[in-house]
Amino acid sequence: MSLACRSDAGTRVDDAAVSIAELTRNAVHVLPHGGLEEKLRLGRPLRVKLGIDVTAPDVTLGNGIPLQRMAAFQREGHLGVLIVGDYTSRIGDPSGRSRERPMIDPAEIDRNAQRYFEHACTIIDADRTEVRFNSEWLSELGFAEILRLTRATTVAQLLEREDFAKRFASNAPISVSELLYPLMQAYDSVAVRADVELGGTDQLFNLLTGREVMAAYGLEPQVALTVVYLDSWDGTGMSASRGNYIGLQEPPDEQFGKTMRIPDGLLEQWYRLVMERDGVPEGEAMEAKLALARFVVARAHGEDAARRAEEHFTRVVREGRAPENVPEAELSSADPVHLPALLAEQFGVSTSEARRLITQGAVKLDGEPILDFDVPRSRLEGALVQAGKRRFVRIVTA
RNA sequence: GCAGGGGUUCCCGAGUGGCCAAAGGGGGCGGGCUGUAAACCCGCUGGCUCAGCCUUCAGAGGUUCGAAUCCUCUCCCCUGCACCA
């Protein structure tokens, strides 16, 4: 595996006025107390670990929150270590109900890891990041070694994890392999000699188990640093599996539009977590949200893209006009043209749905609603076809 | 292994022989209002050149004029009990 970005270069560590506050910004737990200060006093680049999920289709803005912490460490000269749980995901979660779920094949994991890394690099510093696959060490473990690992903790301790505790209390099943999960993750910390491990608040238990296990292996335990979760426009945590996410590398217009969709009540949280600003500027919520959207796009795609995305948003969404660059499509030779088929092809909907859109008056030809399924070719040539507010296509003659 | 409870359309969840492409809610889409916010209102939400036809209620058979609903077998999930290292 050749992930391009490994470098131990630049070991500048300012031990003095390093801002702990900056490193622990938006942190919920930093354990143990004083642990981070102690690590920093070592005067060498710290190894800051973060486990990443390569089964998900995209890297989200929510994933970006811990990545931003990693970036903060990197700015101080420390090293980020991204752990790809390829081995862990190969084991799979046996409690899942989808029996069919095929093991993700290694090639796909590689692709996803590469993509994750590229996306993450909009936030973190590629030159100070190491990407490791945990199969590298986990696949080497023999049974005796695994038993040694399990001796680092006890069932009672593992059962303290909240979801385990709940399930245990309610007699819901807990598989042994699930119980082993935290241990595998902990072993990763041993393998990469982590000084700090980052994670969402739900990871606290796993991060602390990492400390236990490291100690059992005679290593200085890592510092556990958890950060707040980012809520999405539906008020629940942003997650790739729920589909309520903004991808770090989504097209600018998408990122902009989705950001504008968040409820005003989330502005304060997003300013704090995403922009790392302490307060929302005075004035219209709308203005604050526009600034936020610009920030999100600019970080991923640059200032120019952010400006264009805002222009696009203003033009298409606020003013209801057609965008500047409308994709073009050619007509097949039929006459009259069957509109549902055209819409289905151009906008990726079923013809049944296309029919519904037409029936509901959502489809417009040059701004005029059209209610017919079949339209004369002549009427379409050169016309701007619109479905709803956001889907446009220009018909061109070949 | 034994006993019981389950598997319904994107999700939750009703439905126990015809009125079922399947209640209700969520989500999504379209529209109104607007700031692609919130709140509220209306419509749509399996597929198909669509007043009709086709494919869905874990899977395979069967009963019936007719099955998501009844029977048989299979698969899977859950709960309890047992067994074993």
pLDDT digits (tens, 9 = 90+) for A265-286: 889 999 999 999 888 888 888 8
* R_g of chain A, CA atoms, integer Å: 25
| Nucleotide minimizing C1' to CA distance for residue A337 | B49
Residue with CA nearest to B49's C1' atom? A338
Å: A350 CA to B17 C1': 34
Mean pLDDT of chain A: 84
Q: How far apart are CA A307 and CA A293, in angstroms?
A: 10
- pLDDT for residue A240 is more than 90: no
pLDDT digits (tens, 9 = 90+) for A69-108: 999 999 999 999 999 888 877 655 433 333 333 456 677 7
Residue A271, judged by CB atoms within 10 A of its CB (0-12, 13-18, 19+), counts as buried
- pLDDT for residue A233 is more than 90: no
- pLDDT for residue A12 is more than 70: no
Mention every residue, 6+ apart, whose C-beta is less than 8 A from residue A49.
Answer: A81, A82, A83, A188, A189, A192, A194, A196, A197, A198, A222
| Nucleotide minimizing C1' to CA distance for residue A284 | B35
Give the orientation angle of helix A339-347 with respect to helix A351-359, to 10 degrees. 110
Å: A99 CA to B83 C1': 26
Q: Measuring CA to CA, how many Å separate A48 from each of A5, A83, A105, A225?
A: 15, 10, 28, 10
pLDDT for position A93: 44
The confidence band for A169, taking pLDDT boundaries of 50, 70 and 90, is low
DSSP state of A315: I
Å: A123 CA to B68 C1': 51
Supply angle C-alpha A281, A273, A263, rounded to 5: 65
Q: What is the ipTM of this complex?
A: 0.84
Read off the pLDDT of each residue in A113-120 and give the average, rounded to a whole number.
90
Residue A54, judged by CB atoms within 10 A of its CB (0-12, 13-18, 19+), counts as buried
The confidence band for A194, taking pLDDT boundaries of 50, 70 and 90, is very high
Give the total residue count for chain A. Answer: 398
Q: How far apart are CA A184 and CA A70, in angstroms?
A: 22
| Nucleotide minimizing C1' to CA distance for residue A336 | B49
Nucleotides of chain B touched by protein CB (<7 A): 27-31, 35-38, 43-50, 76-80
| Nucleotide minimizing C1' to CA distance for residue A286 | B35
Supply angle C-alpha A313, A319, A323, rounded to 5: 55
Å: A340 CA to B11 C1': 28
Q: How far is CA A191 from the centre of its chain?
A: 25
Å: A98 CA to B64 C1': 35
Å: A343 CA to B44 C1': 17
pTM: 0.82
pLDDT for position A11: 46
Å: A101 CA to B58 C1': 16
Residue with CA nearest to B37's C1' atom? A263
pLDDT for position A3: 46
Weakest-pLDDT range from A52-56, A223-227, A377-381: A52-56
Read off the pLDDT of each residue in A212-241 and give the average, rounded to a whole number.
88
pLDDT digits (tens, 9 = 90+) for A249-260: 889 998 999 999
pLDDT digits (tens, 9 = 90+) for A118-146: 999 999 999 999 999 988 998 888 888 88
Å: A175 CA to B72 C1': 34
| Nucleotide minimizing C1' to CA distance for residue A340 | B49
**Which of A48, A52, A50, A49 is closest to A77 using CA atoms?**
A48
Structural contact between residues A149 and A137, judged by C-beta atoms closer than 8 angstroms? no
Q: Which residues touch strand B (CB under 7 A)?
A: A 95, 97, 99, 171-173, 233-234, 253, 256-257, 260-265, 285-286, 289, 313, 317-318, 334, 338, 340-341, 344, 350-353, 355-357, 360-362, 373-374, 387-391
pLDDT for position A94: 39
Structural contact between residues A197 and A207, judged by C-beta atoms closer than 8 angstroms? yes
- pLDDT for residue A198 is more than 50: yes
Tokens of A376: 């004369």
